[in-house]
């Protein structure tokens, strides 16, 4: 599938759709998920036009993952959580619904189930 430059995250990057930004640098944007599965549920995306793991360059992937690694403990602590789930889907069959690469950072608390 070709990258769709009008996907919802591309529109956020262009400033056409608002988002609750929690981090930004020249390569990466992180913002709160609109339907959080727990308090603090965050999405980290590269600014590069890339759909998922199947087309991302190693350089973009490394920069994006570095931000995931930096933000994960900060989000855990800000949410008062005990750990974080990192989740990422590739292709509609795997559950991907927005076709711009993104990593979920989902704070988890002991004994608390995720929202569906």
Residues labelled as active-site residues: 102
Cα gap 85→94, rounded to integer Å: 17
- For the chain, strand residue ranges (E) read 21-24, 28-32, 42-46, 83-87, 103-108
* 35 counts as binding ligand 5GP under rule CB under 6 A: yes
Using CB under 6 A, pick the residue from 27, 70, 90, 96 that binds ligand 5GP: 96
Question: Nearer to ligand 5GP by C-beta: 31 or 64?
Answer: 31
Question: Nearer to ligand 5GP by C-beta: 19 or 84?
Answer: 19
Closest contact distance (angstroms) between CB of 44 and ligand 5GP is 11
Q: How many Cβ atoms from other residues are within 10 Å of residue 56's Cβ?
A: 17
Close Cβ partners of 92 (under 8 Å, ≥ 6 residues apart): none
Residues lying near ligand 5GP in the complex (CB under 6 A): 8, 19, 31-35, 43, 89, 95-98, 102
């Amino acid at each position: 599938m070709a990258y769709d430059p009008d996907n919802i995250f591309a529109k956020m990057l262009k400033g056409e759709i608002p988002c609750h930004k929690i981090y930004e640098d020249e390569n990466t944007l992180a913002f709160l998920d609109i339907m959080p599965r727990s308090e603090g549920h965050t999405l980290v995306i590269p600014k590069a036009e890339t759909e998922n793991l199947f087309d991302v360059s190693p350089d973009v992937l490394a920069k994006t993952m570095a931000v995931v690694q930096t933000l994960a403990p900060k989000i855990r602590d800000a949410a008062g959580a005990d750990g974080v789930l990192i989740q990422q889907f590739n292709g509609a069959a795997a559950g991907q619904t927005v076709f711009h690469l993104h990593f979920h950072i989902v704070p988890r608390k002991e004994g608390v189930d995720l929202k569906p």
